[in-house]
């Protein structure tokens, strides 16, 4: 009888542990914690982002710009790291009325280069990259590494002359892993959509297929709408999904499907018309497509539909960030840097103002929704941040929604009132 009693106790304990130890929420998987801890950790990260937003403008001031090397979040230590070149300025910084209440949230780390020096290095290196016609590279400042990173995507492109001349400046040079491939992409559900269906919900992260020759599959970013004009909608995707010669017409492709029978509409605008920006705006002509402020996460048992409540500018290094795309679906990671520059494989192909992340993605994920979780009070709510534009092993570059909307509105005064379609619209 005693043995049976002990077995019952053990069974109940294991049940309780399995419930407690679940990792259904994307942030639980990213941070290696349990679902029950996500609200607490997200609240802690939100606090550090708040502190960072107060501190960064102060560090950009001439009084401190030569003494500190930027900031980044360390969620595992629950502090904001302040890279420090000149420790004699720390007490002066902590004495400021705006900073003093948050001194317990700050950790000062000794580094070699100030943010001013890093920006000068970045400018010098990008000017060299321009002069040597660099191809297939991403250049950005990584605050944690306290260095400028040059990431080469393609081993088959000869950038030797540039590399030989840039090495004395001491950047961090990274080469993509040629074996880059996913061995663990889950494909649990089929979602074929019949073109005769009455209404189809198109979510962020779904597929868009361009019938123009040589283009193929990309991902849906976000729905856009007019503030003052009803029933006129647009979908964002990446320039990778655009062809400059043939007519571009887009079709809907669900996750885990090869079908692209359901028409969306033609492109109405592409970012290169304005400048070095990566975006395509699709005009939605098919009235059977239902506008959605939802990002898809179908692989999960919970948190399958994430609700977009706002578009905000993300500005903290090593804050969490996530994406949804038609190939690798939903993945999360961290912000590695801002204002990155991508050099494509074609001559004079450059993209500016990129958010750099360590998100996992493959080519068809280009255009996919990039977002972060908005509130510990609602773990389904997200803020939209941008669209995936380049992918590589351990790196994804993102064109921000702020840039996408600015460029699109600048195209024509007819689009001045275009905004992100969010919950409540």
Two tokens, residue 278: 């990566």
Beta strands at 137-142 and 329-343: parallel, antiparallel or unpaired = antiparallel
Residue 147 has pLDDT above 80, yes or no: yes
Residue 359 has pLDDT above 50, yes or no: yes
Q: What is the per-residue pLDDT for 106?
A: 98
pLDDT tier at 179, thresholds 50, 70, 90: low
Residue 200 has pLDDT above 80, yes or no: yes
Q: What is the per-residue pLDDT for 198?
A: 55
Question: Residue holding tokens 């320039």?
Answer: 239
**Mean pLDDT, to the nearest integer, of 103-107?**
97
**Mean pLDDT, to the nearest integer, of 94-112?**
98
Please state, in angstroms and rounded to a whole number, the distance separating the CA atoms of residues 361 and 390. 9
Q: What is the per-residue pLDDT for 69?
A: 98
pTM: 0.90
Two tokens, residue 89: 């300025």
pLDDT tier at 186, thresholds 50, 70, 90: very low
74/212: higher pLDDT = 74
Two tokens, residue 39: 């609200």
- Cα separation values, 212 from 115, 209, 316, 355, 400, Å: 44, 9, 38, 29, 26
Q: What is the tens place of the pLDDT at every residue in 378-401? A: 999 999 999 999 998 889 999 999
pLDDT tier at 259, thresholds 50, 70, 90: confident
Please state, in angstroms and rounded to a whole number, the distance separating the CA atoms of residues 234 and 89. 50
Residue 184 has pLDDT above 50, yes or no: no
Q: What is the per-residue pLDDT for 137?
A: 96
Beta strands in 275-394 (DSSP E): 280-283, 289-290, 294-296, 305-311, 320-325, 329-343, 350-357, 369-375, 378-392
- Cα separation values, 9 from 3, 16, 83, Å: 10, 11, 51
Residue 188 has pLDDT above 80, yes or no: no
Residue 195 has pLDDT above 60, yes or no: no
Dihedral sign (CA 240, 147, 403, 311): positive
């Amino acid at each position: 009888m005693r043995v049976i009693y002990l077995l019952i106790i053990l069974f109940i304990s294991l049940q309780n542990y399995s419930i407690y130890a679940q990792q259904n929420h994307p942030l639980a998987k990213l941070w290696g914690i349990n679902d029950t801890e996500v609200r607490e950790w997200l609240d802690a990260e939100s606090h550090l982002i708040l502190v960072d937003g107060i501190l960064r403008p102060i560090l950009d001031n001439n009084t401190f710009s030569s003494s500190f090397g930027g900031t980044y979040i360390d969620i595992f230590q629950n502090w904001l790291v302040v890279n420090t070149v000149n420790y004699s300025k720390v007490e002066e910084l902590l004495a400021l009325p705006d900073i003093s209440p948050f001194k317990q949230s700050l950790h000062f780390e000794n580094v070699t280069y100030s943010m001013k020096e890093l920006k000068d290095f970045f400018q010098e290196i990008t000017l060299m990259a321009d002069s040597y016609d660099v191809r297939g590279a991403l250049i950005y400042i990584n605050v944690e590494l306290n260095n400028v990173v040059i990431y080469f995507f393609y081993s088959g492109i000869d950038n030797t002359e540039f590399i030989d001349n840039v090495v004395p400046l001491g950047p961090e040079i990274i080469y993509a892993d040629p074996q880059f491939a996913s061995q663990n992409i889950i494909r649990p559900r089929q979602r074929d959509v019949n073109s005769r269906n009455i209404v189809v919900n198109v979510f962020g992260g779904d597929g868009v297929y361009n019938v123009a020759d040589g283009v193929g599959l990309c991902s849906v970013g976000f729905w856009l709408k007019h503030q003052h004009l009803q029933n006129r909608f647009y979908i964002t995707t990446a320039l990778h999904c655009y062809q400059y010669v043939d007519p571009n017409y887009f079709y809907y492709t669900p996750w885990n499907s090869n079908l692209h029978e359901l028409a969306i509409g033609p492109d109405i605008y592409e970012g290169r018309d304005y400048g070095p920006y990566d975006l395509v705006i699709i005009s939605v002509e098919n009235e059977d497509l239902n506008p959605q402020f939802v990002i898809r996460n179908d692989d999960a048992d919970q948190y399958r539909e994430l609700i977009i409540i706002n578009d905000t500018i993300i500005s903290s290094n090593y804050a969490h960030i996530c994406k949804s795309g038609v190939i690798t679906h939903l993945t999360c990671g961290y912000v590695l840097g801002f204002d990155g520059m991508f050099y494509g494989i074609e001559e004079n192909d450059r993209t500016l103002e990129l958010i750099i992340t360590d998100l996992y993605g493959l080519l068809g994920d280009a255009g996919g929704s990039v977002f972060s979780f908005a509130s510990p009070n609602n773990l389904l709510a997200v803020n939209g941040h941008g669209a995936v534009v380049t992918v590589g092993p351990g790196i994804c570059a993102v064109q921000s929604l702020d840039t996408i909307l600015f460029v699109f509105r600048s195209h024509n005064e007819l689009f001045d009132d275009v905004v992100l379609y969010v919950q409540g619209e």
